Chains A and B, each alone.
Chain A
């Protein structure tokens, strides 16, 4: 299916002259790109090329040494509350409390996003991510892949315009990988955006743009 051309001519996420230095290493510099509604950006590059650093800068967790990240034309660091309400970040550390059950984890995530708790939606998200029947067991007793599914369920219950995902396929089994792909395709079709890094060659249908950090 050919992807519809972005109707909104103004990109929502724009990166201007981004540079990132870690220690004495220049990871990337002069990075420029824009992301329109309905687009997915796949960040590629060798190990240590700064993929995670880029994602953390985009999420507003780290600061770039140079350049800006603009959301709707304004620097994200100047509108944290507005930006964070529209962004969901799924990093290497999942942010799933292992002493709490998946249900409790989602409850706290909803409270932090100031979204009222909707039991039906939460249980549907848990079911969709394959956690039906595991709602009330401590996440400690879940496998790595299942913990990742809890984090995915969090993405589902907290609607965000932009998903930033660092290696979302790592711990997942075959059905998990296709689950993430389906979620992403759905997400894009509704006019949302995503940025992700992945070593697995997972083809996500839709408007995919690629940026390669190893090219310098």
Chain B
């Protein structure tokens, strides 16, 4: 089972590596949204500092959604998904491997870029630390939740809009707790409560989302 998990993850990382050009897209999208704010709203430091947590988190959320859409697309089109479904391995383990591989190539780079964007928006140091922590817990959460929606809509020709409608309500709690934590950290308040809540959501998603994704894929493929 572990061997299949590893093989699946390695396969997806290899496929991502063979399409290096596409890898940068979500990251660029993330970077662009955030950098446009000082230009479009105001370069005033006080204002930027105030809106920074929300801006970076919204950009991360949209970039995650944007990159997730293709998670099962190619596998669905070339029949690899059918072969996954027909594997004697538990499907939930295989999809978890896929989501993890996806997070490694899309979520992790955002995590690395975020401090830079924090500096750009004049965030104080302790807020940047909190931002990193929330993104570290939050982006895998976004990937797991999003993958359920992607699995449900992969068989539809134009599932993009439906995907957004399905997933956005589920993303909102993550957004609220994460931005709240970063804002609180900037004000020098403790953020343990919000972090615990996000962490518990992540544990919940890690255990239940793979099952939901697997069930959704079986429906989409049949």
| A contact residues vs B (CB 8 Å cutoff) | 56, 59-63, 80-82, 84-85, 87, 89, 91-100, 104, 107-109, 111-114, 138
Contact = CB atoms under 8 A, between A and B. Distances in A.
A99 B15 contact: yes
Contact of A99 (B18, B83, B84, B88): B18
Contact of A87 (B4, B19, B80, B86): B86
B78 interface: yes
Given A97-B15, A99-B15, A108 B85 contact: no
A75 to B, nearest CB: 16
B86 A61 contact: yes
Nearest to A57: B222
B104 interface: no
A111 B83 contact: no
Interface in B1-60: 1, 3-4, 6-8, 11, 14-15, 18-19
Nearest to B18: A99
Contacts of B83: 89, 95, 109, 112
B86 A104 contact: no
The interface size bin for chain B is 20 to 34
A60 B88 contact: no
A111 B8 contact: yes
Point out which of B4, B86, B87, B221 has the most chain A C-beta atoms below 10 A from its C-beta. B86
B88 A95 contact: no
Interface residues of A: mostly helix, strand, loop or mixed? loop
Contacts of B88: 80-82, 84-85, 113-114
Interface string B62-80: 0000000000001001111
A63 B215 CA distance: 13
Nearest to A82: B88
A23 B179 CA distance: 46
Nearest to B76: A93
Given A63-B222, A97-B15, A112-B83, 16 more contacts: A56-B222, A80-B88, A81-B88, A82-B88, A93-B77, A93-B78, A93-B79, A94-B78, A95-B82, A95-B83, A100-B15, A108-B8, A108-B11, A112-B8, A113-B88, A114-B4
A97 B7 CA distance: 14
A79 to B, nearest CB: 10
Given A111-B3, A111-B7, A93 B82 contact: yes
A112 B222 contact: no
Contact of B11 (A91, A92, A94, A100): A100
Contact of A114 (B3, B11, B85): B3
B200 interface: no
